Amino acid sequence: MAAGSGTMTLSGTTAGLAIGNTLTVGGVTYTISGVTNATTLTVTPVAALAVNAAPTATNAPSSTWNTFLTVDGAPVVLAPNTLTFNTSGTLSSPPSVAAAAYTPAGAAPLNLTFNFATTTQYGTAFGVNSMTQDGYTTGQLTSFNTSANGTIVGSYTNGQTRNLGQVVLANFSNVQGLEPLSGNQWAQTAASGVPLVGAPGSSSLGVLQSGAVESSNVDLTAELVNMITAQRDYQANAQTIKTQDSLTQTLINLR
């Protein structure tokens, strides 16, 4: 070819080469003026170029990039912390995975891994092609509720929910044998038997209702009989006092 602008076909790929880069073929340095496709370049000057010549880029974009990671605003070091690409724009090191150790405040240490296997380098301006998330930001407990089976579910500021625990119930072979305590509490006795503990809704146990107030758990008939008995006792005692008062008044009148 005559000296001047012209095209050159590469034996490999034009990945990593861009307009303005230089390459050397047969000891002669050329400037890339255009990239036609994956195997064809436009260069200047062109002087007796051989087809399928293997060029060497001397001003290709940087092939090594530093990686940076922050968690909740705090820097975390990746190992290895650099990415190196070959002339075809594909990752050459590290092989695919970088790791980091991070210890959140008040939590156990976390081992983080990042897969860079599909990362590539192109001779274009930087841009994010895709982004995926495999975790959630930190969250604070905002509220909790209890389900019918006793599971306590907590809600967090990051939109996640987690099971915090479970309330269990206890039944007795002879409920009437329990010893009543103050504050609507009961104590196990030899007559009541041992407690039979299980999850709400299982076996003979009932379910839970969050936010509800427990209704009366006493025998209304027995309590009504006790109240009538107490009333009769009061009436009998009052009559005794009345009789005593009459006798005292009679004695006073005799004087």
pLDDT tens for each residue of 42-68 = 766 544 444 444 444 444 445 778 887
Total structural domains in the chain? 4
Give the count of beta carbons closer than 10 Å to the beta carbon of residue 20: 9
The answer on 69 and 127 residing in a single domain is: yes
pLDDT in tens, 71-112: 777 788 878 778 888 777 778 776 667 788 888 777 888 888
Is 213 part of a structural domain of the chain? no
* Summary mean pLDDT of the chain: 78
The answer on 66 and 52 residing in a single domain is: no
- Its domain, for residue 172, covers 142-198
The answer on 71 and 117 residing in a single domain is: yes
Strands, DSSP E only, in the chain?
Answer: 6-9, 22-25, 28-35, 40-44, 56-57, 64-66, 69-71, 74-76, 82-85, 91-93, 97-102, 110-115, 141-146, 151-156, 161-166, 169-171, 179-181, 185-187, 196-198
Is 28 part of a structural domain of the chain? yes
Is 249 part of a structural domain of the chain? yes
Is 203 part of a structural domain of the chain? no
* Encoded tokens for 37: 């496709």
d(CA 254, CA 210): 72
Is 188 part of a structural domain of the chain? yes
Nearest C-alpha neighbor of 124 from the set 180, 61, 182, 187: 61
Is 210 part of a structural domain of the chain? no
Indicate the range of 6-15, 42-51, 97-106, 178-187 predicted with least confidence.
Answer: 42-51
Residue in the structure block whose two tokens are 């012209």: 6
- pLDDT (0 to 100) of residue 206: 87
